Structures are given as structure tokens and as C-alpha cells.
Amino acid sequence: MTDTKTEHGPEEPIEAEFVEHSDASSSAPADSALPGWLTSLPDTLRPYAALARLDRPIGTWLVMLPAMAALAYTRIATGFFWIDIWWDLLIAIGAVTMRGAACTWNDITDKDFDAAVDRTANRPLPSGQVSVRNAYIFLALQVAVGFIAWLCLPTDAKVVALLALPLIVAYPFMKRVTWWPQAWLGFTINWGVLVAAAMATHVSMGTVLLYLGFAAWTVGYDTIYALQDKEDDALIGVKSSARLMGDKAVLGAFCFYLTAAAFFAAASAANSAPRLGALTVIGFLAHAVWQVYMVNRDEANALKVFKSNAWAALILLFGFTIAAIV
């Protein structure tokens, strides 16, 4: 921009800046999963949909499905109740709103980092489509919707849900202070497992084992996801398990998948479902082996493999649901 001003006078840079901003506002971020849908929205809604990651639904699935699997897990001993339909609806509402709020908060704190990475530079805040002030207002609106859902929870579940707030607030800063932000994410994004258990009955030792399994699983899939940004993260000083493990990152991710499977098996045994639990864990491990194969064959498959973890969660949800029915 400085060179343009020197050669062409003071008016043309303003025009160039306007064109650049217009292009940003009419396009989707480079990492959008649904760019066509996003750009079809009205101009006023588009950046907020991107801010809440509505164009990247995989994150919502990865919040919602473990919580639903936990609800099914708690019903293995008792069978399902009609109230569980209501609990699943609240889980879905909470997953959409609180995931969106967490992403908005993450983008507010990371706007300078995002501006330095090609994949994220066209997100609403670094591209200037949304001001920081408006982002905070949008954050408050999402939290308000989540608060309404929170009011519908049983008292124990309300308390458990509130305990997640420090994890959510601190998460964006973890990549600055530890090489294991993926571990913090694992404990944060799967907190719904504990909330779902408190909604249905109570948080048992088996539920804690299930929660630890989902946390380990998250470290694995988010390490694979972080492979996309290793070079950019190194340039801007962002830490990740993928950078820490280097060439062993895929092997490390698989070790976390194995750890997750061990916790899932232990949780199944603790809830008197060793056989169906074992079949469920075998299905989960088979999917993990496929993930490792795909990334080892071509690291460019990292995003595809990351998104496939919705199916891994569905395997667990299906297995625990069958166990509860049987």
C-alpha cells in the first residue's frame, strides 16, 4: 500500500483498500467447509455465520455427539426414558450456541494470529468484516441463548455446566503457553459428556473414564488437524502437539487414539457392557487405523481425516445406544 501511494497519489490507495475489503466481505474464509452456502447469505449475516463457524459444522458435531453418546452410556443400566429426547434437544442447542460463542471468543483473542495465516486471514475479524465491538455483542447474544438452555437443566447439571466456563475462557491462550493446547481442548470440548451424565443421573466413575477417553481422542484428531498449520504456526510462534512431535505426529495421534480406546473399554466394563462395549471400541479403533493410513499416505488428507471423526463419534453413539436398548 505504501508503494502504491508513492507512485499513484493519495486517492488510489483508498480505492484499492475499498476493493480489497469488498472482495473479503463477498467471499468465504479459505477454511470454510460450506463456502457456497456462506456466500449465499445476506451480506449482514454472512460474517457472523462465519464467526460462529456455522459454515464449519464438524465442530458442532464434535461437541454434540460425545455428549449424546454419554447420555446413551448412562442409560445402559436403565434403558431410555422419554425425557431423553428433551435432554438431547438441549444438548444440540447447547452445542450450537456454546460452540459458536467459544469460536467467537477464540477469534477475538486470535485476530492478530489469524491475520498472519493464509488459511484464516479472511475470517471476519482479521479481514475487517466485523469490528471487535460487534463481535463482543454477537458473543453476548450467543451466550444468552445458551443461558436459556442452561436454565432448563437439572440443578446438578447446571453446576457441572458452569464449571466449564474457565476452560472455555482460557483455551485460546493455551497455544501461547504450552505445547499441548490440544489437551486443553480435549478437556474443554468434551465437558458436555459430564453435563449429559448429570442431566440423566449423576457423574459416575464410568462417566469420568468416558470423558477421559473423549479427551484423549480429541488430542489425536486435533493433532492431525494441526498438521495443516505447522509452518505458519512456527513462523508466528504458536505451539501445538503437531509441532512438538514433528515427524512422529501421526504416530503420536494414533497413540492417543489407543489411549482413548482403552478408556472407552474400561468405561464399558464399569457400566456392565463389556461385550457390546468391546465391539464398539473395535469399530472405533478400525476407524482410527484408517485415519492413520490416510494421513501417512498423504498429509494433505489431514483436513478430510479430521472431519471424519464425526463418524468415529457416531460409532460410539451407536454402540452405546444399542447397549442401552439391549
CA atoms within 13 A on the CB side of 19: 7
Q: Structural domain tally of the chain?
A: 1
3-state secondary structure of 237: coil
Per the structure, the complete domain to which residue 142 belongs is given by 2-325
CATH of the domain at 22: 1.10.357.140
> Higher confidence at residue 296 or residue 11?
296
* Whole-angstrom distance, CA of residue 144 vs CA of residue 262: 38
pLDDT tens for 87-114 read 999 999 999 999 999 999 999 998 887 7
* Whole-angstrom distance, CA of residue 272 vs CA of residue 281: 15
| CA dist 58 → 75, 95, 268, 272, 275 (Å) | 26, 11, 26, 31, 30
Taking phi first (over 0 means left), then psi (-120 to 50 degrees means alpha), and beta for anything else, what does residue 9 get? left
pLDDT tens for 14-42 read 333 333 333 444 566 666 777 788 888 88
Burial level of 99, CB count in 10 A (0-12/13-18/19+)?
buried
Q: What is the mean pLDDT of the chain?
A: 87
pLDDT tens for 117-161 read 777 788 888 888 899 999 999 999 999 999 999 999 999 999 999
* Among 8-17, 209-218, 241-250, the least confident range: 8-17
